[in-house]
Amino acid sequence: MDHFTDPGADWSCDPEIEVDKFMHSLDVKNQHVVVVGLGLTGRSCVRFLQQQGAIVSVMDSNPNASIPANTRGIVGRLDAEVLSRANMIVLSPGVNPNVNEIQQAKKCGVDVIGDVELFARVNTIPVIAITGSNGKSTVTSLVTDMLNSAGKNAVMGGNIGTPVLDLVDIEADFLVLELSSFQLETLSSLAPVCATILNISEDHLDRHLKLDAYVQAKSRIYLNAKHKIANRDDKLTWPEVFDEEQSFGLSTTQKGWQYDLNMDAILHRGERFIEQHACGIKGLHNMLNIQAALACVEHLQLDTAALRDAIHAFKGLAHRFEFVGQPKNVTWINDSKATNVGATIAAIESLVDKKSGKLVLIAGGDGKNADFSELQPLLLSAVDLLITLGKDGRQIAALKPGSVEVSDLKEAVKLAYSLAQSGDTVLLSPACASIDMFDNYQQRGDTFKQALLEIAS
Ranking 175-179, 212-216, 295-299, 396-400 by mean pLDDT, the lowest is: 212-216
* List 87, 134, 148, 159, catalytic entry: 159
Q: Are strands 194-197 and 227-231 parallel, antiparallel or unpaired?
A: parallel
Judged against a pLDDT cut of 50, whether residue 21 lies above it is answered with no
CB–CB of 92/37 below 8 Å? Answer: yes
211-255 pLDDT per residue, tens:
899 999 999 999 999 999 999 999 999 999 999 999 999 999 999
**What's the whole-model pTM score?**
0.84
User: Known catalytic residue: 136?
Assistant: yes
51-63 pLDDT per residue, tens:
999 999 999 999 9
Ranges of CATH 3.90.190.20 domains, the chain = 322-456
pLDDT mean over 377-385: 96
Cα(44)–Cα(94) distance, integer angstroms? 14
162-199 pLDDT per residue, tens:
999 999 989 999 999 999 999 999 999 999 999 999 99
| pLDDT value of residue 268 | 97
* List 32, 204, 208, 400, catalytic entry: 204
* List 32, 136, 227, 337, catalytic entry: 136
Burial 347-381 (b: 16+ CB within 10 A, else e): bbebbeeebeebbbbbbbbbbbebebebbeebbee
The domain 2-119 belongs to what CATH superfamily?
NAD(P)-binding Rossmann-like Domain (3.40.50.720)
User: How confident is the prediction for the chain on average, in pLDDT?
Assistant: 91
| pLDDT value of residue 206 | 67
CB–CB of 447/410 below 8 Å? Answer: yes
Closest among 117, 36, 41 to 80, alpha carbons compared: 36
Predicted confidence band of residue 407 (pLDDT cuts 50, 70, 90): very high
Specify the CATH number of the domain 322-456. 3.90.190.20
Ranges of CATH 3.40.50.720 domains, the chain = 2-119
| pLDDT value of residue 9 | 39
| pLDDT value of residue 204 | 63
Specify the CATH number of the domain 123-313. 3.40.1190.10
The 3-state secondary structure of 268-316, one letter per residue: ECCEEEEEHHHCCCCCHHHHHHHHHHHHHHHHHCCCHHHHHHHHHHCCC
| pLDDT value of residue 345 | 93
Predicted confidence band of residue 86 (pLDDT cuts 50, 70, 90): very high
User: Known catalytic residue: 329?
Assistant: no
pLDDT mean over 104-130: 96
| pLDDT value of residue 368 | 86
Cα(117)–Cα(184) distance, integer angstroms? 8
User: Known catalytic residue: 3?
Assistant: no
Closest among 94, 177, 135 to 292, alpha carbons compared: 135
**Percent above pLDDT 90 for the chain:** 82
CB–CB of 315/280 below 8 Å? Answer: yes
Q: Are strands 111-114 and 154-158 parallel, antiparallel or unpaired?
A: unpaired
Strand ranges of the sheet holding 257-260, from the earlier edge strand across to the other edge: 257-260, 265-268, 271-275
Cα(221)–Cα(227) distance, integer angstroms? 11
420-456 pLDDT per residue, tens:
999 999 999 999 999 999 999 999 999 999 999 999 9
Ranges of CATH 3.40.1190.10 domains, the chain = 123-313
Predicted confidence band of residue 352 (pLDDT cuts 50, 70, 90): confident
pLDDT mean over 12-27: 47
Q: Are strands 127-131 and 425-428 parallel, antiparallel or unpaired?
A: unpaired
